[in-house]
Amino acid sequence: MPKMKLCDISSRLRNAGIDSADFEARLLVSHFTGISESRLIADRDADLPESTALWEAVKRRCTREPLQYILGEWDFMGLTFKVTPDCLIPRADTELLCELAISKLPKDGRVLDLCTGSGCIAASVAHYRRDADACALEKFERTADVAKENFEKLTGSRVRLVIADATSSADAEKHFAGESFDMIVSNPPYVTAEEMSSLECELSFEPSAALTDGGDGLGFYRAITEIYMPYLRIGGILAFEHGYTQGEAVRKILGESSVTLCDLGGNPRVTYFIKE
């Protein structure tokens, strides 16, 4: 294993086509050696301690494997979540949906997060709204295991986890018969089948079932709206994250009174409907 410096790692990452090479190099070195980022910034030419784990991590990142999977964790809503290749990586765009839920959920309200993945939405709402009764649904057991760990760590297991298919009316009846919620939220798979072939390299490492419905990208919005609207209380909110080109299409599914919010980049990102 060759001697490594921070500048060498940055160069390797940059040559692999990674735009944020300096930032990612610091994260990798800090994570695998324990050296603080501030110290690394001050002396990027210093020799680094030998670390097989760091060397392997750099090689993995050069194949364009996502940094978050290599680190095994990622920050979202001010919290650190476990992430694995069994779940979608939490992204800053999704914080808009969390902030909506946190601000709109009534006191002692009930919230249901469909297609929870890592559990980042449900855990964030439960963490910042300790009065809330939170429930999360996930179809895949290995993904649900990741969510469960995050719920235990961040909420003290206050989130009820259900393993079921969000597009199955039979599963909804089985698990939620007689129940109602003040808010139902979801960041479902919304990439179209056509778009899947042109995604950036890193996305090929994420589970395709968390990215696409295999069709026009709107299948989950249609199914969830039809199946779960009866479980929403009068005055309750059904809210979706979606792709930046899908706002109009999702509004058509939810109805004329639905509202679309833009993310920090000015892109339409979250659409919600209030049940009257």
- Residue 89 CA neighbour count, 13 Å, CB half: 19
Number of domains forming the structure of the chain: 2
CA distance 273 to 251: 8
CA 109 to chain centre: 23
Instruction: Indicate if the pLDDT at residue 40 is higher than 90.
Output: no
Q: Say which DSSP state 113 is in.
A: E
Contact 132, 123 (CB under 8 A): no
pLDDT tens profile 63-116: 999 999 999 999 999 999 999 999 999 999 999 999 999 999 999 999 999 999
125 & 35 share domain: no
**What pLDDT sits at residue 3?**
73
User: Are 103 and 236 members of one domain?
Assistant: yes
- Give start and end residues of each alpha helix (H) in 87-158: 95-104, 120-128, 141-155
Tokens of 138: 């996930």
Kindly state whether residues 107 and 189 are assigned to the same domain: yes
Same domain, residue pair 128 and 193: yes
Of 22, 40, 63, which residue sits at a domain end?
63
pLDDT in tens, 7-22: 999 999 999 999 999 9
Phi, psi of 262 (to 5 degrees): -100, 150
Does residue 71 fall inside a structural domain? no
pLDDT band at 2 (very low <50, low <70, confident <90, very high): low
For the question of whether the overall pTM of this predicted structure is more than 0.85, the answer is: yes
Token output for 243:
């792709």
> Mean pLDDT across the stretch 111-140?
98
Q: Are residues 240 and 112 in the same domain?
A: yes
DSSP state of 74: E
* Percent of the chain clearing pLDDT 70 (strictly above): 99
Burial level of 276, CB count in 10 A (0-12/13-18/19+)?
exposed
Is the residue at 72 inside a domain? no
Share of the chain above pLDDT 90, in %: 91
Query: Does residue 230 share a domain with residue 208?
Result: yes
Asked if 109 and 52 sit in the same domain, the reply is no
Q: Round to whole Å and give the CA distance between 76 and 122.
A: 12
Q: Cα–Cα distance between 245 and 251 in angstroms, integer?
A: 12
Q: Please indicate, yes or no, whether residues 35 and 93 belong to a single structural domain of this protein.
A: no
Question: Are 231 and 135 contained in the same domain?
Answer: yes
Domain interval for residue 58: 6-63
Query: By C-alpha distance, which of 101, 99, 88, 177 is closest to 140?
Result: 88
Tell me if 173 is assigned to some domain: yes
Q: How far is CA 257 from the centre of its chain?
A: 27
What is the pLDDT, as a whole number, of residue 42?
80
DSSP-derived 3-state class of residue 136 = strand
Neighbours of 93 (CB within 10 A): 17
Question: Over 90: is that where the pLDDT of 44 sits?
Answer: no
Distance separating alpha carbons of residues 108 and 129, to the nearest angstrom: 9
Same domain, 57 and 145: no
